[in-house]
Chain A
Amino acid sequence: MKISKLKKNVVLKNGIVLDPFNETEKKTDILIENGKIKKIGKLSIPKNSKVIDCKNLIITHGFFDPHVHFREPGGEDKEDLNSGSMAALAGGFTGVCAMPNTEPPIDSPELTRYIIDRSRECPINIYPIGAVTKSQKGKELTEMGAMISEGAIAFSDDGLPIGDAKVMQNALEYSGMFDIPIINHAEDECLKADGVMHLGSVSTNLGLPASPGITESNMVHRDLELAVHVGARLHVPHVSSARSVEHIKTLKKKSEKISAEVTAHHLFFTDEDLISYNTNLKVAPPIRSQKDKRALINAVKNGTIDCIATDHAPHTIEEKEGTFDIAPFGMIGLETCFGAVNKVLVHDSNMSQMSLIKLLTVNPRKIMGIDQNLFVEGSHAEITIYDPNKTWKFSKNNIYSKSYNSPFIGVELKGKIKATIVKGHISQQD
């Protein structure tokens, strides 16, 4: 991947410009001047312009990931905001929401400010999600008002579920004052117990402790009911089970303030892929059955699930080389996201490029309250250019994260990011 400062004038020529906000798709050109979109349409190329040939490529909004773990501060052996940004650029993401389960967790206005200050030095836009409770202990609420003033865009104790329903209700009421989403990692810790994978015939064959889909859907249901009762904004992260999808579908009819995301890996893999005991497939919530995967794909297609996230969760090789029961939960996912979801949803499930791109751009930005109309003349260029049809095998060389915990290594993907433009720079890859 080559990153360079944008020349004064850059022309993206001969590409298909797909605008997911205005739902238009046409072959035309884009002129970028001093890092800002100057013109979209037929244009005469200014002198000394850098012309990038985008023949057979799609030019669209920079992708937005509502759920990443960049580990800074405290976990810089796994990732930091700069290395995470590089992984994001490789995956076509120009904006990400960083989860607060760092060391210390982002649970105060001062720490929120730290992430905002650090993100200014990074090549992409990083939006901090603040913790719901102090030290993520699930008891006392954080100073959400002051954290929002410093730049927090949502609240989550991600990684740790909020077990106490009353605390969850208070959190929703409090964040409801500001109309900011609460994101709860929904896994009932009592039901999960020592479970490291989905409960089914595969877990029985492997002899691994496992937890069923209701471990998630029970808590998802509780959260949805509370959100409807309170009238507050709730975003359900990384939905993994068919039963959760049913609950979301039903309760979305009662409130417009409910949204949900699914990860690329829950759409791509099933528990049968775990027969190799590959710890890179150990994630929370776990990868579930073929039936759950089908339900997730349908939910994405019918709008029950609003957006795609990576839940990019780096861990060191040493940690992941432990046995399946002791290795930590999580996989990296920024570099592989597009090639995976484009394969599953577009090539295997007949979704259109337009529908897919909305799940990666306007929908997640809308949930997080960020401007969604990016292709406006005069606005800062946040652009992703990709080849929708390129088949390629993902390898270690394609990883820009500090960590290598990806089960996609050696897997064939469909669709590849060619260039990402954000903050006055362009990153390009073959």
Chain B
Amino acid sequence: MGIECSPTLKRQRRIQRERMKGGLLPSVREYRNLFGITEERILSHKKEIVLMHPGPMNRGVEIDSAVADSDQAIILEQVLNGVASRMSILYLLLGGKMEEGSN
């Protein structure tokens, strides 16, 4: 029962309460018990793992602050890179040109 992680990387997503009208989750308590990433669960992994979350986070539900703000989390870099990626994709789709020498 509970979360399963790949050994080196754990990706978590925000539970989308605005889309939960179908009664898919019995309660926040149940969700947190089964899937919430807590410090305890992270420490139970022998190997140090890297943690991702696309944001925004429901702190205390799917992820605890102690984990989200730890050195293991690359959440802020992930969000930053996500914005940059989307900017460049939109730029290219709107007819922008790749600059010489860029990849």
Which residues of A line the B interface, CB within 8 A? 134, 139-146, 148-149, 166-167, 170, 174, 177-178
Distance from A154 Cβ to chain B, minimum over Cβ atoms (Å): 16
What is the CA–CA distance of A170 and B27 in the complex, to the nearest angstrom? 14
Q: Which of B8-16, B29-37, B43-51, B60-68 has 4 or more CB atoms under 8 Å from chain A?
A: B29-37
Contact across chains for B22 and A145 when beta carbons are under 8 A apart: no
Bound: A170/B23 CA distance, A: 9
- In the complex, B93 has a CB within 8 A of chain A: no
When the two chains form the complex, which single residue of B22, B26, B27, B34 contacts A166, counting CB atoms closer than 8 Å? Answer: B22
Q: Does B98 sit at the interface, judged by CB under 8 A? A: no
- Is the Cβ of A170 less than 8 Å from the Cβ of B1? no
Asked if B27 contacts A143 (CB within 8 A), the reply is: yes
Chain B residue nearest in CB terms to A173? B24
B23 touches A144 (CB 8 A): no
Report yes or no: A167 in contact with B23, Cβ–Cβ below 8 A.
Answer: yes
B contact residues around A134 at 8 Å (CB): 26
CB–CB A170/B26 < 8 A: no
* A167 to B26 CA separation, bound complex (whole angstroms): 12
Name B34's closest neighbour in chain A (CB-CB).
A145
Are A144 and B26 touching (Cβ within 8 A)?
yes
Interface of A is mostly: helix
Residues of B within 8 A of A142 (CB): 26
Q: Is the CB of B23 within 8 A of A145?
A: no
CA distance A148 to B29 in the complex (A): 14
Specify which of B1, B23, B33 is in contact with A141 (CB 8 Å cutoff). B23
CB distance from B62 to the nearest CB of A (A): 15
- The answer for the CA separation of A146 and B23 in the assembled complex, in Å, is 17
A146–B27 Cα distance when bound, in Å, is: 10
A156 to B72, CA, bound (A): 42
Report chain A residues within 8 Å CB of B24: 141, 170, 174
Q: What are 23 A-B interface contacts by the 8 Å CB criterion? A: A134-B26, A139-B23, A140-B23, A141-B24, A141-B25, A141-B26, A143-B26, A143-B27, A143-B30, A144-B26, A145-B1, A145-B30, A145-B33, A146-B30, A148-B1, A149-B1, A166-B22, A167-B23, A170-B22, A170-B24, A177-B1, A177-B34, A178-B1
- Asked if residues B26 and A140 are in contact (CB atoms below 8 Å), the reply is yes
Listed residue (B23, B24, B26, B29) with the most chain A CB atoms within 10 angstroms of its CB? B26
**A146 and B33 form a contact (CB under 8 A):** yes
State the 3 A-B residue pairs at the shortest beta-carbon distance, nearest first. Answer: A143-B30, A140-B23, A143-B26
Tell me, in angstroms, the Cα distance from A382 to B29 when the chains sit together. Answer: 38
Give CA–CA (A364, B25) in the complex, Å.
30
The distance in angstroms between the C-alpha atoms of A167 and B22, with both chains bound, is: 8
Hey, which chain A residues are within 8 Å of B25, CB to CB? 141
Whether B29 pairs with A143 at a CB distance below 8 angstroms is: yes
Q: Which residues of A contact B22 (CB under 8 A)?
A: 166, 170
Please name all residues of chain B whose beta carbon is closer than 8 Å to the beta carbon of A143 when the two chains form the complex.
Answer: 26-27, 29-30
- How far is A166 from B23 in the complex, measured between Cα atoms in Å? 10
Smallest Cβ distance from B96 to chain A, in angstroms? Answer: 44
In the complex, A149→B34 CA distance in Å?
11
Pair B29/A146 contact, Cβ less than 8 Å: yes
New A-B contacts (20) at CB < 8 Å, excluding given A143-B26, A143-B30, A146-B33: A134-B26, A139-B23, A141-B24, A141-B26, A143-B27, A143-B29, A144-B26, A144-B30, A145-B1, A145-B30, A145-B33, A146-B29, A166-B22, A167-B23, A170-B22, A170-B24, A174-B24, A174-B26, A177-B1, A178-B1
Distance, CA A146 to CA B33, complexed state (A) = 8
| Residue in A142, A144, A146 whose Cβ sees the most chain B Cβ within 10 Å | A146
B26 surroundings in chain A (CB, below 8 A): 134, 140-144, 174
CB neighbours (8 Å) of B30 from chain A are 143-146
Q: Which chain A residues lie closer than 8 Å to B33 at the CB level?
A: 145-146
Contacts of A145 in B (CB 8 A): 1, 30, 33-34
CA distance in complex: A178, B25 (Å): 15
Q: Give A22 Cβ to nearest chain B Cβ, in Å.
A: 32
Please indicate the chain A residues that have their CB under 8 angstroms from the CB of B23 in the complex: 139-141, 167, 170
Q: Which residues on the B side are within 8 Å of A139 (C-beta)?
A: 23
Min CB–CB distance A144 → chain B (angstroms): 7
A167–B24 alpha-carbon span in the complex (Å): 9
Q: Which chain A residues lie closer than 8 Å to B29 at the CB level?
A: 143, 146
Rounded to whole angstroms, the CA-CA distance of A182 and B77 in the bound complex is: 43
Please measure, in the bound complex, the distance between the C-alpha atom of A134 and the C-alpha atom of B27, giving whole angstroms.
Answer: 11
The CA of A140 and the CA of B24, in the complex, are separated in Å by: 8
* Whole-angstrom CA separation of A334 from B93 in the bound complex: 72
B contact residues around A140 at 8 Å (CB): 23, 26
Q: Max chain A CB contacts within 10 Å: which of B22, B23, B24?
A: B23
A170 to B26, CA, bound (A): 11
What is the chain B residue whose CB lies nearest that of A140?
A: B23
Smallest CB gap from A139: residue in B: B23
Query: A167: which B residues are within 8 A, CB to CB?
Result: 23
Residues of chain B with a CB closer than 8 A to A178's CB: 1
Closest CB in chain B relative to A52 CB, distance in Å: 43
